[in-house]
Amino acid sequence: MWLLLTDAAWIVSIVIFGWLIWDFIRVNMRYSESVLLSSREGVDELFAESGQKEP
Amino acid sequence: MDREATAVAGETGSHVGLLKVLGPVHVWALGVGIVLVGEFMGWNYGVGKGGAFGALISCFVIGILYTCVAMIDSEITSTVAAAGGQYAQAKHTIGPLMAFNVGLYMVLTYTMLNASDIQVAGQLVQIAAGNMNVTIPWQPYTILCLALLTLLNYRGVLATLSVNFVITALAFLSILVLFIGVKPWAPHEVLLHSQLLTALPYGWLGVLASFHFGIWYYLGIEGTCQSAEEVRSPGRALPLGTMTGMITLLIAAAITWYVVCGLLPWEYIGWDAELAPLYDAARVTGSSTLTVILFIGTLFSAIASANGCINDAARAWFSMGRDRYLPIWFGAVHPKYRTPFRSILFLTPIAAIFALYIPLAEIITFSILSGLLNYTFMPINMWKFRRKWPIGSIRRGFEHPFHPIPAGVLLTLCVATFFAIYLGYGRQLLSMMLFYIVASAWFAFYRYRYVRRGDQFSMPWPRPQGY
């Protein structure tokens, strides 16, 4: 059983990494860099009174 | 931009950023999850240096070091609400070169800790099989652990840290179950402190040397800051999660020392080949139930730590990319899952290579050294922060008491711990320093030209005093 589990561990790992790479390529092809890189360093409601800085 | 991206951008006011979905429980799960594995393994090598009492002294002294870290971090991070934690702090309080170094310290600390954790998780499965007289390789389970945790981190921070909360709480509970199981109310029935505890075997120098391994009890609690951009209310959640996390760890560390040193002789606990002292303590009790519970607790603690480390290393790398300290390509956020997906995937093979090919002691020493360099920066950071923006000049989520005592104590203890590491790992310490000097030169003379200096200061604060 342990040998079967060991083979299964390799197979599941390959499937997971395969999906991750597939999704990674899909997202990079589907969205422009301006969308993917549009994140800005955040501020939160703690500073709401003083007004947030517009990035 | 297609329809989904437009919708995503529309929801967030034209930016695809990290999601603000976390609460204090997740902050606790991130901090304690990264650290708790240090109660299950690693701290025991300090017993080999300083004896049982030496390890207890280092547990308390390093506990003070980390309490100072938690206090300082809680104040600054509750005010600098940005991913990247101490990196974002350094950028605001000191400057780009310090920020670049602090960012690297964090990425190395968490990536190396992640590599150690997944290596240990794989080896624990191998030990379980060995107990059933089956010999299997540990590598497939290490890679499986990494794959599952990478997938979890890739698909969203809320699920990642919710899972971390459950497995961290279970691992902590296993320590409490062992504590009750050894009947601390009847000291001579199971626990044999009076027979096992000895005087300091290598004197006070041994105690000092054990500081190096005392760090294991708490290494990574500062990682709570990495979630600053993803918590709903940083001013409340970060101090609450970090300080309750620190209290949890102090309790867990004290129980761990008490139980293990009451069941096993110090020569065995501090032996180089001793991997999991809490698990072995459970085995010594003769209870198969306790043995199984502590095995699961040890495995869960390693998985929780790796999970939190993937989260934190990716945030630090992502923040540096977003600010162009590294190629901006790393500053991307997944439009659907809202995670720094490029950074997560980029660091995964690095963790895998270290986990598969580098011995545990070597990897964890790189992690500890980088962590300690980060702690050494914190007192300077605190002094600068209070001097430039005194109390009352900006709104703080938390104000830590007794300033500047915690900063002074932290700096003193960091210097003592550097000396302790130099005693045992001088070569690694010097190699690490050389690496950071070379990296700093690369940043100062090459990379800094790409940094947009005007975008560095993102907090809506008044001009600092003296400027």
Q: How many CB atoms neighbour CB B43 within 10 A?
A: 28
Tell whether B109 is covered by a domain: yes
Give the whole-angstrom CA distance, residue B84 versus residue A25: 26
Q: Is the pLDDT of residue A54 over 50?
A: no
What is each CA distance from B283 to B185, B260, B327, B397, in whole angstroms?
20, 11, 50, 46
Tell whether B330 is covered by a domain: yes
Tell me the CATH number at B333.
1.20.1740.10
Report pLDDT for B96. 93
User: Which two structure tokens, joined as six digits, stand for B434?
Assistant: 């050389």
| Span B25-54, pLDDT tens digits | 999 999 999 999 999 998 999 999 999 999
Tell whether B467 is covered by a domain: no
User: Which two structure tokens, joined as six digits, stand for B388?
Assistant: 């430039």
Amino acid at B150: T
Query: Is the predicted ipTM greater than 0.90, yes or no?
Result: no
Give the whole-angstrom CA distance, residue B81 versus residue B17: 14
Tell whether B14 is covered by a domain: no
Give the whole-angstrom CA distance, residue B142 versus residue B120: 8
Distance from CA of B458 to the nearest CA of A (A): 7
Contact B168, B224 (CB under 8 A): no
* Closest among B83, B86, B282 to B190, alpha carbons compared: B282
Average pLDDT, chain B: 91
Report pLDDT for B283. 93
Tell whether B429 is covered by a domain: yes
Domain that holds residue A40: 2-50
| Span A26-40, pLDDT tens digits | 999 999 999 999 988
Contact B36, B305 (CB under 8 A): yes
Q: How many CB atoms neighbour CB A8 within 10 A?
A: 12
Give the whole-angstrom CA distance, residue B452 versus residue A8: 48
User: In this complex, do A13 and B140 lie within 8 Å of one another by their Cβ atoms?
Assistant: yes
Report pLDDT for A42. 59
Domain that holds residue B204: 19-393+401-455
Tell whether B465 is covered by a domain: no
Q: How many domains does chain B have?
A: 1
Tell whether A55 is covered by a domain: no
Surface of B (337-376) touching A: CB under 8 A: 341-342, 345
User: In this complex, do A23 and B154 lie within 8 Å of one another by their Cβ atoms?
Assistant: yes
Tell whether B188 is covered by a domain: yes
B22: helix, coil or strand?
strand
Q: What's the whole-number mean pLDDT along residues B66-95?
A: 87
Q: What residues of B are in contact with residue A50 (Cβ under 8 Å)? A: 395, 460
Q: How many domains does chain A have?
A: 1
Q: Is the pLDDT of residue B332 over 90?
A: yes
What lies within 8 Å, CB to CB, of A25 at 6+ separation is none
Tell whether B13 is covered by a domain: no
A32 near B CB under 8 A: yes
Of all residues in chain B, the one with the smallest CA distance to A10 is B140
